[in-house]
C-alpha cells in the first residue's frame, strides 16, 4: 500500500500536526512564498510520486489567500505524480454561498468546488457544511464529517442536563439539532430566523417549549455572533433561565468575543478546533476533532467505510449510542 503524506498550508498547521500525531506519520513541509507582485507560490518539500497525499487547509480569514494556497498545493501534488490527492478542508468557507436568492448573484460554493476539481483534487474531506446541498456541488467524492458526537460527549461530561433543551437558531439547522438532542436525551426547539445582512438577523419566534429551562444552543458556525445574541434575546423573553453555546466552527470574528464572553445569559461556549481559536478568550472551551479526521484518512487509505465512523451519531446510519466508536 502506498504511504500517506500529509501537508499543511498556513491556515491551521497545529490541526494538521494533531492529525499526523494520531496517524503516527510526520507532517511534510510546504515552502509558501509571496512575491513582490503579491503572487503566491507553493512548493511541496517531500516526495509525492505514487503517494496518497492529504492537504490540510481550513478556509479561514484571510480566506482568499488560504484558498489560493490550497489550490497551488493541489496543483503541485498533481505535477509531482501523486497517486491520489485529498483536500482536507475542516472548514469550507463558501458553503453559505449555496443558492441564487437574488438577481445576478454568484454561487461561491459551487465555484470553489469547481476550482478544487480543476486544480487536481480527487477527493474532499470536510466537516459540518452549512447546507446539505453544498455536498452536491462536488463531482468528486466528499466525506462529510460531523462533530455532534464530540460536542454531545462534552455536555454529557459536564452533566446537569435536567431541565435543558437543545435549541437551533433556525429551521435549516433543526435536523442536526434534533440528532444532537437525541444523543443527549433532550427535547428540541428552534428559532424562526430571517437574515437582514452579514451581521444582522431577526428571529421573530421560538418553536418549542423553553420556559424555565436551560438552553443548549447548537449551530454549525458562529461568525460575528449576531444570530446567537438575537436568539438569546428571544429565549429570555420566553422564560429561558440560562444558555450554553455549542458550535462546530468557532470563527468569532468582529465583535463576537465581546458579545458572547460578556452576555449575562451564557454559561459557557464550546467549539471544536476546525479553525484556530481566538487568542483573547481564555474561557472558551475547545474540543478536538482531529482524531475524527485522522480516522477518516486512515479508513480512506485502507479502503474502509467512513460513514461507519458515525454509527450512533447520525440516526440515519444507526440508533444513537452513548459514545462515538473510532475503532
| pLDDT the model gives residue 142 | 94
Q: At residue 327, does pLDDT exceed 50?
A: no
pLDDT, mean of residues 271-279: 97
Q: pLDDT exceeding 70 applies to what percent of the chain?
A: 92
206-252 pLDDT per residue, tens: 999 999 999 999 999 999 998 899 899 999 999 999 999 999 999 99
- Cα(180)–Cα(186) distance, rounded to whole angstroms? 9
Look at 178 and 130; give whichever has higher pLDDT. Answer: 178
Q: How far is CA 192 from CA 168, 204, 259, 311, in A?
A: 9, 6, 21, 30
Domain 4-145+290-310, CATH? 3.40.50.2020
The answer to whether the peptide bond before residue 36 is cis (omega within 30 degrees of 0) is no
What confidence tier does 10 reach under pLDDT thresholds 50, 70, 90?
Answer: very high
Strand-pair category, 188-195 with 201-207: antiparallel
CA atoms within 13 A on the CB side of 167: 34
pLDDT, mean of residues 256-271: 94
The dihedrals phi and psi of 227, each to the nearest 5 degrees, come to -65, -40
92-146 pLDDT per residue, tens: 998 877 677 788 889 888 999 999 999 999 999 999 998 778 888 999 999 999 9
The average confidence (pLDDT) of the chain is 91
Please identify which residue in the block is written with the cell numbers 471544536: 272
Look at 171 and 199; give whichever has higher pLDDT. Answer: 171
What confidence tier does 320 reach under pLDDT thresholds 50, 70, 90?
Answer: low
How buried is 123 (Cβ within 10 angstroms: 0-12 exposed, 13-18 middle, 19+ buried)? middle
Strand-pair category, 123-127 with 4-8: unpaired
Give first-to-last CA distance, the chain, whole Å. Answer: 20
55-76 pLDDT per residue, tens: 999 999 999 999 999 999 999 9
| pLDDT the model gives residue 198 | 57
What confidence tier does 316 reach under pLDDT thresholds 50, 70, 90?
Answer: low
| pLDDT the model gives residue 91 | 97
The dihedrals phi and psi of 58, each to the nearest 5 degrees, come to -70, 145
The residues assigned a catalytic role are: 193
What confidence tier does 157 reach under pLDDT thresholds 50, 70, 90?
Answer: very high
SS3 266: strand
| pLDDT the model gives residue 170 | 87
230-241 pLDDT per residue, tens: 899 999 999 999
Query: Which residues are bridge partners to 31 per DSSP?
Result: 43
- CATH 3.40.50.2020 in the chain, residue ranges: 4-145+290-310, 148-287
CATH of 148-287, one of 3.40.640.10, 3.40.50.2300, 2.60.40.420, 3.40.50.2020: 3.40.50.2020
What confidence tier does 307 reach under pLDDT thresholds 50, 70, 90?
Answer: confident
In 28-59, which positions are buried (b, 16+ CB within 10 angstroms) versus exposed (e)?
bebeeeeeeeeeeebebeeebeebbbbbbbbb
Amino acid at each position: 500500500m502506498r504511504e500517506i503524506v500529509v501537508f499543511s498550508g498556513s491556515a491551521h498547521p497545529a490541526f494538521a500536526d494533531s492529525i499526523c500525531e494520531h496517524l503516527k506519520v510526520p507532517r511534510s513541509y510546504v515552502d509558501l512564498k509571496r512575491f513582490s507582485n503579491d503572487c503566491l507560490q507553493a512548493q511541496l518539500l517531500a516526495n509525492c510520486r505514487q503517494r496518497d497525499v492529504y492537504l490540510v487547509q481550513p478556509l479561514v480569514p484571510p480566506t482568499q489567500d488560504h484558498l489560493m494556497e490550497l489550490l497551488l498545493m493541489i496543483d503541485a501534488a498533481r505535477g509531482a505524480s501523486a497517486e491520489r490527492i485529498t483536500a482536507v478542508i475542516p472548514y469550507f468557507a463558501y458553503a453559505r454561498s449555496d443558492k441564487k436568492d437574488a438577481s445576478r448573484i454568484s454561487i461561491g460554493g459551487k465555484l470553489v468546488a469547481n476550482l478544487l476539481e480543476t486544480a487536481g483534487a480527487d477527493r474532499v474531506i470536510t466537516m459540518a457544511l452549512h447546507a446539505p446541498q453544498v455536498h452536491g456541488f462536488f463531482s468528486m467524492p466528499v466525506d462529510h464529517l460531523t462533530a455532534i458526537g464530540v460536542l454531545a460527549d462534552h455536555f454529557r461530561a459536564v452533566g446537569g442536563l435536567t431541565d435543558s433543551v437543545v435549541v437551533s437558531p433556525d429551521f435549516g439547522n433543526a435536523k442536526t439539532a434534533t440528532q444532537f438532542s437525541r444523543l443527549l436525551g433532550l427535547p428540541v426547539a428552534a428559532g424562526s430566523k430571517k437574515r437582514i445582512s452579514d451581521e444582522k438577523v431577526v428571529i421573530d419566534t421560538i418553536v418549542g417549549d423553553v420556559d424555565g429551562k436551560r438552553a443548549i444552543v447548537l449551530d454549525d458556525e458562529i461568525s460575528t455572533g449576531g444570530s446567537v445574541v438575537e436568539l438569546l434575546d428571544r429565549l429570555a423573553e420566553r422564560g429561558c433561565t440560562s444558555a450554553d453555546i455549542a458550535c462546530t466552527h468557532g470563527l468569532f470574528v468582529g465583535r463576537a468575543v465581546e458579545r458572547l464572553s460578556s452576555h449575562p445569559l451564557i454559561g459557557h461556549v464550546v467549539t471544536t478546533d476546525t479553525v484556530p481559536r481566538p487568542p483573547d478568550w481564555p474561557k472558551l472551551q475547545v474540543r478536538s476533532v482531529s482524531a475524527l479526521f485522522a480516522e477518516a484518512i486512515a479508513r480512506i487509505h485502507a479502503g474502509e467505510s467512513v460513514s461507519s465512523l458515525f454509527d450512533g451519531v447520525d440516526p440515519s446510519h444507526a440508533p444513537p449510542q452513548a459514545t462515538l466508536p473510532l475503532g
